[in-house]
Amino acid sequence: MFRRLFPLSLIAALLALSPARPADKEKDLPEGFTPLFDGKDLAGWEVLDGKKDAWAVENGMIVTKSGGGGWLLTDKEYGDFEVRVDFKMSEGGNSGVALRAPLKGNVSYSGMEIQLLDDVWHKKNYKDLKPVQLTGAIYGVVAPSKDALKPVGEWNTINITAKGRQITILLNGVKRVDANLDDYKEAAEKDHPGLKREKGHLGLQSHSNRVEFRNVYVKEL
């Protein structure tokens, strides 16, 4: 029988070019987490109060192209969970992660928003910017304790854990917030009724300028 032999270097090159199998795609998935985005389309998500065409899938990322897309919310609701998201800002970018959000109202108040922002640009251009409006803040309620945001154009990772009334936020491995929502009852009564919610949708915000997201994972607790 005639056999054709291929050099190992050629075989290795062909394997490198072959499409990744599902197992390969999930080898970096943190233990216990489930992907909320398959890198191909926005199945399992819906747009609230914004333009659908402001959202796109590009090169395995969720992209808000220029703002105006409102919120991209999960179909499913979550109560206690850990969510992990990689995000990359363009200059002047403004976005957020929604927690326990309803499908109505201003999500930053009717639910809870964890702020994502080009802090440097906004500090320079908005002199009245408050600490509760910086990246990693529970927007309008709890300011982050440390600065850990990477420069524009670099990837950041935010980990948010919501367990009962306790919210813990890590940015690039640095703890930014560790707060009990019961300590903010005045804010909940006045402007942020979403702090009282025990369950709701997760989401990403399209506020202004381009922001890219990848590795959007959740673990229910």
| Residue 85 near residue 216, CB atoms below 8 Å | yes
Residue 88 is part of a domain; what is its CATH number? 2.60.120.560
Using the predicted structure, report yes or no on whether residue 3 has a pLDDT greater than 60.
Answer: no
Which tokens belong to 151? 């420069």
Using the predicted structure, report yes or no on whether residue 9 has a pLDDT greater than 80.
Answer: no
In-domain check, residue 10: no
In-domain check, residue 167: yes
**Of residues 5 and 129, more confidently modeled:** 129
For residue 23, the model assigns a pLDDT of: 37
In-domain check, residue 73: yes
Q: Which of 138, 101, 99 is nearest to 116 (CA)?
A: 138
The pLDDT tens digits for 176-195 are 999 999 999 998 889 999 99
Domain that holds residue 159: 34-220
24: confidence class by pLDDT, cuts 50, 70, 90? very low
In-domain check, residue 9: no
In-domain check, residue 17: no
For residue 146, the model assigns a pLDDT of: 84
In-domain check, residue 7: no
